[in-house]
Amino acid sequence: MGIDDVTEMWDRVTGTQQAPAVWLVIATGLVALAVVGIRGSWRFARNAVTIAHEGGHALMALLTGRQLQGIRLHSDTSGLTVSRGKPTGLGMVLTAAAGYTAPPLLGLGGAWLLQSGRITALLWGTTALLLALLVMVRNAYGVLSVVATGSVFILVSWLTPGEVQALFAYAVVWFLLLGGARPVFELQARRRRDRGRVPAVPGAAGTAGAPDSDADQLARLTNVPPLGWLLFFHAVALCSLVGGGSWLLGL
């Protein structure tokens, strides 16, 4: 690959592309809403939200100086990220809090990129993040999930026209904004159903079932009740949806 090819590729990534018409943006949002709202499609698509969730735990663990041990993604759409370090303190709190907030915040960041016209940057950036995450996945189903998701982004980025790439990018961002909110409601429902105690894994965070969920782990770490953390997760998801949706619609 010559210098001209590298320059052309860089210009393609950093350049801007034409956004779809507003009615198409609304249509992609309705499609994402249907995927999130329908039980059958959600059970399949939720794997993508779990990838973002565990990626949030992993990134925050690295940023706070913890040693990342690995990530596991399961066929029931649960996941687990294990890191080594001090079992209490700010680093562990931030790592545990990063899971449920990661999908909506990623959606918000994606909406900012799209309102700037950087569709290619979003697609290629997401692919790069998935490749980085793949290195830390420690089970076969997790590898399959990340490879399959990354392959979709690669195929769309390289084999489809710009109009299709734009629609796909908007649908993905809508999905993260909407899909980032539903797991918090699911966690709230699980906590009502299951009041038993499951031993915690030191340094672990993920989409585990209640009462060893992220909210319960955070409650033990901070003495803030789980309801307080649930409200925090809800607030992040709602603010991201409102802000990101406004950007996507050009308001």
Beta bridge partners of 205: 81
Handedness of CA 228, 231, 237, 243 (dihedral sign): negative
What are 45-104's pLDDT values in tens digits? 999 999 999 999 999 999 999 999 999 999 999 999 999 988 889 999 999 999 999 999
Contacts of 33 (CB under 8 A, 6+ apart): 174, 178
Give 130's DSSP letter. H
pTM of the model: 0.89
How many angstroms separate the CA atoms of 56 and 51, rounded? 9
Q: What is the per-residue pLDDT for 211?
A: 56
Res. 194: pLDDT tops 90: no
Contacts of 232 (CB under 8 A, 6+ apart): 97
pLDDT band at 193 (very low <50, low <70, confident <90, very high): confident
Res. 11: pLDDT tops 80: no
Res. 8: pLDDT tops 90: no
Residue 28 parent element (H or E): helix 22-37
Encoded tokens for 248:
């996507």
SS3 5: helix
Q: Per-domain residue ranges for the chain?
A: 18-248
